[in-house]
Amino acid sequence: MKCYQDGRKNGLFLGLFLIITLLCITGCASGEKVVQSESNKAAESNEKSNSAFPRTLSIEGKEVTVQAQPQQIAALSLNVAEIVIDLVGTDSLVAITESAENASLSHYSQEIEKIPYKVKGATSLDPEVVLSYDPDLVLLTLTHGAEQDAEKLLEQSGTPLASFSRWTTVQDVMENYLAIGQLLGEEEKSEEIVDQLEQKITQAQSLVKVSDQQPTVLILSQVGSNTGPYILGPSSIAYDLIQLAGGTPGSDVLGLEKSAPASIEHLIDMDPDYIILVEWGTTSDEFQDLVDSEGFQTLTAVQEDKIKRMKAKDISQANRYIVDQLVPLVEWLHPNETGKE
């Protein structure tokens, strides 16, 4: 009897051992399948992306040919840089404008630390330095004469170059999202973002009834770290944002066709209903002197505490996130209609 019991126990142990062994083998095989499946998906995604290249696109009347999905992008202006980061992250960027480090200007100032090279933009842009980074795509905004000169030299290099000049409306931002999305092989993502922006605009505008009463809004800003104050006009996307929020930009009251230097005489003549002070991170003495002046303190908006400080990245820098400010602006400018008194 004892032998029988011992044999039975041994049989049970052997059976359990075989079951556990089979489970381990099955589990490992399953794990390998999961890893292989994820790896295959990534490979298929990469193959699918590259199969769409080479491609030739027309960007503002100029043809740009990209041979393969870009992996070494030089984004030399803040607006194009933020679109690239939004669509593909920072890993594909080899160089970026140093203005992206300013938290008052950029929504990605913390994310760009790993990007190898930071380049000076605007009047200090050096195309030879940019080309030394061996980019496979260069993105540039044409704002200053130096950038236009750099564009000519970059074109001669044969490196794919896409230049953008229109950033003065939210519509421009959406169109540039779609264009850069095509250059990067990220059409679907850029289309999704544009759809989201259109929905947010519709939501904001639905809060305001059609009315003749559009309060005047002075947007006072520097246009560089050390410049004096400017009245932002049609050449700034802030102008478009105020119109979308149901306001009348102060520059219209003065008949300005673009952003222009501000004087206390201008402001007193305008006497706006609301004032937005745009923050650049550092405030020039001229800007602060104007805000501290006796004449400024007499303005109706100041007297009625209808003055708001906003970071440049939220009002005057062309990016997708300024649209998030539309509803708050509508509620601020139209408290009676939105119930936000």
For the stretch 87-103, pLDDT in tens is 999 999 999 999 999 99
Averaged pLDDT for residues 229-253: 96
What would the mean pLDDT of 272-278 be, rounded to a whole number? 98
Superfamily of domain 55-201 in CATH is Nitrogenase molybdenum iron protein domain (3.40.50.1980)
What pLDDT band is residue 3 in, cutting at 50, 70 and 90?
Answer: very low
Mean pLDDT of all residues in 253-275: 95
Q: Is 59 helix (H, G, I), strand (E, B) or coil?
A: strand
Instruction: Map out the domains of the chain as residue ranges.
Output: 55-201, 209-338
Domain 209-338 has CATH 3.40.50.2300: no
Tell me which of 314 and 337 has the higher pLDDT. 314
Q: Cα(111)–Cα(82) distance, rounded to whole angstroms?
A: 11
Task: Please report how many Cα atoms fall inside a 13 Å half-sphere around the Cα of residue 232, on the Cβ side.
Answer: 28
* Token pair listed for 210: 């059609």
C-beta of residue 243 within 8 angstroms of C-beta of residue 274: no
What per-residue confidence (pLDDT) applies to 21?
Answer: 52
pLDDT(54) > 80: yes
Residue 120 pLDDT level (bands cut at 50, 70, 90): confident
Residues 6-15: what's their mean pLDDT? 48
Q: Can 55-201 and 209-338 be said to share one CATH topology?
A: yes
In a 13 Å sphere around the CA of 296, the CA atoms on its Cβ side amount to 17
Whether 114 has a pLDDT exceeding 80, the answer reads yes
